[in-house]
Homo-oligomer: A and B are copies of this chain.
Amino acid sequence: MLGTRRRLAILAEGRFTPLDAKTAVGVLRYRPEEVAAIVDSTRAGRTAAECVGVGGVVPVVSGIEEAAARGADSLMIGIAPQGGDLPADWRPPVRQALGRGWDVLAGLHVFLGDDPELADLARRTGARLLDVRRPPAGRRVAARRAAGVEALVVLTVGSDCNVGKMTAALEIARGLGERGARAAFVATGQTGIFIAGRGVAADAIPADFVAGEIEHEVIEAARGADVVVVEGQGALHHPGYSGVTLALLHGACPRVMVLCHQAGRERVRPPAAAPPPDSVSTPAIPPLGELIESYERAAGWVCPSRVVAVALNTLGLPDAEARSAVERAARETGLAAADPVRFGAAPLVEAVEACRGRARATLG
What's the Cα separation between A141 and B241 when bound, in Å?
Answer: 8
Partner of A270 from the list B143, B247, B274, B284 (CB cut-off 8 Å) is: B143
Chain A at the B interface: SS class: loop
Q: Could you tell me the distance in whole angstroms from the C-beta of A99 to the nearest C-beta in chain B?
A: 28
Q: Could you tell me the distance in whole angstroms from the C-beta of A147 to the nearest C-beta in chain B?
A: 9
Judged by a CB distance under 8 angstroms, whether A203 is at the interface is yes
Query: Which one of A16-24, A44-52, A172-180, A232-240 is at the interface?
Result: A232-240
Q: Could you tell me the distance in whole angstroms from the C-beta of A356 to the nearest C-beta in chain B?
A: 24
Residues of B within 8 A of A142 (CB): 239-240
Contact across chains for A207 and B302 when beta carbons are under 8 A apart: no
Given A143-B240, A237-B301, A237-B302, residue A364 in contact with residue B284 (CB < 8 A) = yes
What's the Cα separation between A282 and B140 when bound, in Å?
Answer: 16
Judged by a CB distance under 8 angstroms, whether A280 is at the interface is yes
Contact across chains for A208 and B204 when beta carbons are under 8 A apart: yes
Judged by a CB distance under 8 angstroms, whether A297 is at the interface is yes
Judged by a CB distance under 8 angstroms, whether A91 is at the interface is no
Contact across chains for B205 and A273 when beta carbons are under 8 A apart: no
What's the Cα separation between A239 and B244 when bound, in Å?
Answer: 13
Contact across chains for A208 and B240 when beta carbons are under 8 A apart: yes
Q: Could you tell me the distance in whole angstroms from the C-beta of A184 to the nearest C-beta in chain B?
A: 22
Judged by a CB distance under 8 angstroms, whether A3 is at the interface is no
What's the Cα separation between A271 and B209 when bound, in Å?
Answer: 12
Judged by a CB distance under 8 angstroms, whether A26 is at the interface is no
Partner of A246 from the list B83, B135, B242 (CB cut-off 8 Å) is: B242
Contact across chains for B244 and A243 when beta carbons are under 8 A apart: yes
Residues of B within 8 A of A211 (CB): 239-243
Q: Which residue of B lies closest to A243 (CB)?
A: B247
Given A250-B239, A301-B236, A302-B239, residue A109 in contact with residue B206 (CB < 8 A) = yes
Partner of A274 from the list B141, B248, B298 (CB cut-off 8 Å) is: B141
Contact across chains for B135 and A206 when beta carbons are under 8 A apart: yes
Judged by a CB distance under 8 angstroms, whether A145 is at the interface is yes
Judged by a CB distance under 8 angstroms, whether A294 is at the interface is yes
What's the Cα separation between A244 and B246 when bound, in Å?
Answer: 9
Q: Could you tell me the distance in whole angstroms from the C-beta of A319 to the nearest C-beta in chain B?
A: 33
Judged by a CB distance under 8 angstroms, whether A144 is at the interface is yes
Judged by a CB distance under 8 angstroms, whether A202 is at the interface is yes
What's the Cα separation between A360 and B284 when bound, in Å?
Answer: 18
Q: Which residue of B lies closest to A143 (CB)?
A: B276
What's the Cα separation between A282 and B301 when bound, in Å?
Answer: 11
A278-324 residues at the B interface, CB under 8 angstroms: 280-284, 294, 297-298, 301-303
Residues of B within 8 A of A212 (CB): 240, 274
Contact across chains for B301 and A283 when beta carbons are under 8 A apart: yes
Q: Could you tell me the distance in whole angstroms from the C-beta of A201 to the nearest C-beta in chain B?
A: 9
Contact across chains for B205 and A206 when beta carbons are under 8 A apart: yes
Q: Which residues of A contact B (CB under 8 A)?
A: 83-84, 109-110, 135, 139-145, 148, 202-208, 210-212, 236-248, 250-251, 270-271, 273-274, 276, 280-284, 294, 297-298, 301-303, 363-364
Q: 5 nearest interchain CB pairs?
A: A243-B247, A237-B301, A143-B276, A84-B139, A203-B208
Ordered by A's residue number, 6 sampled pairs between the chains whose C-beta atoms are within 8 Å are A144-B239, A208-B240, A236-B298, A243-B245, A281-B363, A283-B301
